[in-house]
Chains A and B, each alone.
Chain A
Amino acid sequence: MTTASGTEPATGDAVLSARNVVMSYGGVHALKGVNFDIHRGKVTTLFGENGAGKSTLMKILSGVVTPTSGDIVLDGNLVSFSSSSDARDRGISIIHQELSLAPNLSVRDNIFMGRELRTRTGLDFAEESRQARALMADLEEDIDPMTLVEDLRLGQQQIVEIARALSVDSRILIMDEPTSALSATEVEVLFKVIRDLTSRGVSIVYISHHLEEALQITDYAVVLRDGAITATAEAKDIDLEWIVRNMVGENFDLGSPPTGHAFGEVALSIEDVSVTDTSGSGYSVVDHLSLDVRAGEIVCIYGLMGAGRTELLEAVAGRVPMAGGRALLEGEDVTGLTIAQRIARGLVLVPEDRQRDGLVQTMTVGRNLSLASIEAFAKGLFLSRPRERALIDDSIRKVTIKTAGGNAMIGSLSGGNQQKVVIGKMLTTNPKVILLDEPSRGIDVGAKAEVFRLLSERAAQGLAVVFSTSEVNECLSIAHRIVVMRRGKISAKFGANATKEQIMAASGEAVVA
């Protein structure tokens, strides 16, 4: 039922295959020799955690990126795509996880963007509208083709993205998280459309975090973990438990909760906090949530995309305003304070997107590290170079950043070391509470383990740690307590001895009987 990684899968019904595909970004191997088949006229589902390499593999198969090594076989012939439009011309199209629509254009213009229908004198708007309307009818979505995309809600935008991929009449359709913003009814319609497509011979690759939902549509299941295929099977032979077991693996130890120290007083107290969606819909992304964290305690917040983890952490750190409730740091209300004031009092946030929110790319490693603690080396009006250098060297050593030195440019570091710079920058301020939003995102498993080891060490010294993750394995590593968020609320709380199934069930990801 399960084939081990590296063996040649049967090629009989494979329409598009990856052969020994390796993808490296600098020193990080996103894919380590992957063999993957897309079955003709079937739905092949790719399972795997964040960072397992799913999106990278799909980008390779759709010509968006070129693999470092390895072959792509289309209908038995070796091919190499020069671009995504080259792949599209050969009948391969992809629905990206990140929406790639122009919000200022209408639904019709988005669907036909880049391949507009022409008449002799201009564009054939009438025909475009007719086709767009037909696509919307297929998807059972009541959207006028002339509506601007920015006026649609997120789920409808995703429908437009799907419609665009369908409009090409491709033979192979890759769907990377197509349902993340769809309602249950919309998902049903989408599945009907997928069944219809496969009956017409279209081959589908499907990726989703909603395991149970994905299993309904799956014909062949493939599990990817840390850049390698760990298992493949036909859907009729497997169940949810099989997927979870192969997805998370058992072999890598991300550490265990630090013991031997007593928790101190409550360091951070989140009381009845609500956060309103920034898009102005008035929808609460965090809904009257309360949580206490003690000094020396590590709390993991688990949840799916859109569960409100990021918004909660950003509101506590002062990045986005709270719609209600308050946050107390060691009993002192910090709700009205600026970010700088919260940092000075010992409440810091390591943001989720380190490129966008964590690092200043134009500065050196050292200056990034010292950015949040400038007061510590300021003498009156001026900065003290020797004191700054001492602080930076100390920080590089403590956080174990692999760099040529404080003067190296930040871009010269690997993803894991860049992440350590962002964490190190915040630890240098000697915080009492550190919030980390998906600290393991986009870093390899070795760096992940180092980050967790660092956090456990600091917790043992009395730091209160709150980190969010969408990888269940990470919850079960160093956290003393696991809090599951779902739709802005805490749906369950567990101790360190929870099981993966319990956690995933509480998040709405999978309901295992």
Chain B
Amino acid sequence: MTDVSQASKQSSPSTGGEGFDVAKLLLEGRAFFALIVIIVVFSILSPYYLSVANFLTMASHVAIFGILAVGMLLVILNGGIDLSVGSTLGLAGVVAGFLMQGVTLTWLGVVLYPPVWVVAVLACMLGAVVGLVNGVLIARFKVPAFVATLGVMYMARGLALLMTSGLTYNNLGGKPELGNTGFDALGFNRLFGVPTGVVVLVVIALIGSIVLNRTAFGRWLYASGGNERAAELSGVPVKTVQISVYVLSGICAAIAGLILSSQLTSAGPTAGTTYELTAIAAVVIGGAALTGGRGNIRGTLLGAFVIGFLSDGLVIIGISSYWQTVFTGAVIVLAVLLNAVQYRRRSKLSASTGGQPTSQKRGKAEPANPAQGKTAG
């Protein structure tokens, strides 16, 4: 009467990595195979594509989206969305640019030139504050994530434009006598030949992976994203988790902003426009579910590389940027289609073995009325 079907034996957890397993790789593999197809196709079409130098260049482009996407993954795992990351990226870059010009304290009559590490820390703190605003709006004031982060997206972009009156900071180099040189290191320096941006991405991804798989916070995040009510009743601090993911996403956006303005050697208020959408696309291509609870760092990184290598490839073979947009869109639609197929297949599997896949997440639903919610007979 309470048998467990054999079919369930092979179903391994989708959340987090329990080591290496071929079946899982194939399941997640579509992003991986897409990446291989992209590399093979462009290598045939262009003699310049398949080279270490080009790969490193493309990787440093991917780094920006990748860092944003890791932050976005945390938010999406929680069942939310963060539309403000592109604007936060721009605002962090502008604030960094502003600090590099020196801060004039009129009442003291001095000009402060903070060293680069202070600038970086302050920019990250700014990202955290923007994230905190998102998180508090969503967790405490119950504003839907889409609307809250949309509003913050406009506000951050507006602030960036206000600070510079729409202009761009072009001088980020600093002066040796002021002790604030080194900002360009983030964009141009290489560690064992690898651009700093890529190193930062790898570090962030590693930290993210450890947090998701090895810490209580990671487990809380998967649980509250999968079923907030069940997580809450199990003692998970769901509000703290929810606020934290937006703060972390804001910090990731600020880091990406620093790297981007260093790469461009300029900090403009419109930097990062629509990058939030690319980050969401990377997370989705990486197999995460927008309903929360499913997804991982490995998939998200693959998603970021698919988008980055595809668009750079299209540039290299000289396809018009209009077509690039069309291709990128098609890849995203295809990825979401495959996600839908995958999750439908999985829920069918569990339904056929006796589970009832109903009401997976009704996070903030009112407690059901006693006379409505019961099942008798």
Interface residues of chain A, those whose CB is within 8 Å of chain B, are 25-29, 46, 48-58, 97-99, 154, 158, 176-177, 180-181, 207, 209, 224, 278-279, 285, 305-306, 308, 310-311, 314, 317, 319-320, 338-340, 343-344, 349, 351, 353, 355-364, 367, 371-372, 374-375, 378, 381-383, 402-405, 407-418, 425, 429, 441-442, 444, 446-447
CB pair A340 B4 closer than 8 Å: no
B18 partner residues in chain A, CB cutoff 8 A? 407
Chain B hits for A158, CB < 8 A: 371
Cross-interface CB contact of B13 among A209, A306, A358, A367, cutoff 8 Å: A367
What is the number of residues of chain B that contact chain A, defined by CB distance less than 8 Å? 68
Least distance between A150 CB and chain B CB atoms (Å): 12
Given contacts A317-B233, A353-B359, 20 further A-B contacts (CB under 8 A): A27-B3, A27-B354, A50-B376, A98-B373, A209-B376, A340-B235, A355-B356, A356-B365, A359-B227, A362-B15, A362-B222, A362-B292, A363-B15, A383-B216, A408-B4, A409-B346, A411-B347, A413-B4, A425-B234, A441-B375
Known pairs A25-B354, A412-B11, A417-B4; A357 contacts B230 (CB<8 A): yes
Given A154-B369, A411-B347, A411-B351, the answer on whether A51 and B1 have CB atoms closer than 8 Å is no
> What's the nearest-Cβ distance from chain A to residue B3, in Å?
5
What is the minimal beta-carbon distance from A392 to any residue of chain B, in angstroms?
Answer: 12
- A339–B234 Cα distance when bound, in Å, is 8
B376 with A360: CB separation less than 8 A: no
Point out the residues of chain A lying under 8 angstroms from B216, CB to CB.
374-375, 378, 383
B223 touches A (CB below 8 Å) = yes
Q: Are B2 and A357 in contact (CB under 8 A)?
A: no
Known: A374-B216, A407-B13, A425-B234. A26 touches B355 (CB 8 A): yes
Residues in chain A near residue B236, CB distance under 8 A: 340, 371
Query: Does B269 sit at the interface, judged by CB under 8 A?
Result: no
Contact, CB under 8 Å: B376 / A417: no
> Does B164 count as interface, using CB distance less than 8 angstroms?
no
CA distance A341 to B225 in the complex (A): 21
> Is B229 interfacial (CB-CB < 8 Å)?
yes
Contact B355 A363 (CB under 8 A): no
> Is B14 an interface position by the 8 A CB rule?
yes
| B354 pairs with A358, CB closer than 8 A | no
* B294: Cβ under 8 A from any A Cβ: yes
The interface residues of chain A lying within 8 Å CB-to-CB of B357 are 361, 411
Complex Cα distance, B226 from A408, in Å, reads 16
If A27-B3, A306-B370, A408-B11 touch, whether A339 touches B230 (CB-CB below 8 Å) is: no
Q: Is the CB of A361 within 8 A of B360?
A: yes
A-B contact pairs, 12 of them (CB 8 A): A56-B377, A97-B375, A278-B366, A308-B370, A351-B229, A353-B368, A367-B13, A367-B222, A383-B215, A411-B347, A411-B355, A415-B354
Q: How many whole Å from B217's CB to the nearest CB in chain A? A: 9
Interface centre among A28, A361, A375 (most CB of B within 10 A): A361
B235 touches A176 (CB 8 A): no
Which chain A residue shows the least CB distance to B367? A278
| Among all A-B residue pairs, the 9 with the closest Cβ atoms | A26-B354, A54-B377, A411-B350, A412-B8, A362-B293, A411-B355, A362-B226, A340-B235, A360-B226
CB-CB nearest in chain A for B377: A54
B325 on the interface (CB 8 Å rule)?
Answer: no
B 323-348 to A, binary, CB cutoff 8 A, 1 in contact else 0: 00000000000000000000000110
A97-B375, A407-B18 in contact; A444/B1 too (CB < 8 A)?
yes
For window 226-250 of B, CB contacts with A under 8 Å fall at 226-227, 229-237
Query: In the complex, are the beta carbons of A339 and B233 less than 8 A apart?
Result: yes
Question: Given A55-B375, A278-B366, does the pair A409, B354 have CB atoms closer than 8 Å?
Answer: no
With A55-B376, A363-B15 known to touch, is A357 a contact of B229 (CB < 8 Å)? Answer: yes
For residue A47, which residue of chain B has the nearest CB? B377
B365: chain A residues at CB < 8 Å are 356
Interface 1/0s, chain B 113-135, versus A by CB < 8 A? 00000000000000000000000
**CB-based contact B376/A404 at 8 Å:** no
The answer to whether A54 touches B9, judged by C-beta atoms less than 8 angstroms apart, is no
- Given the known interface contacts A306-B370, A444-B1, the answer about A409 and B359 at a Cβ–Cβ threshold of 8 Å is no
B231 and A356 within 8 A (CB)? no
A403 to chain B, nearest CB (A): 6
Q: Please report the C-alpha to C-alpha distance between residue A378 and residue B218 in the assembled complex, in whole angstroms.
A: 12
Chain A residues contacting B7 (CB-CB under 8 Å) are: 412
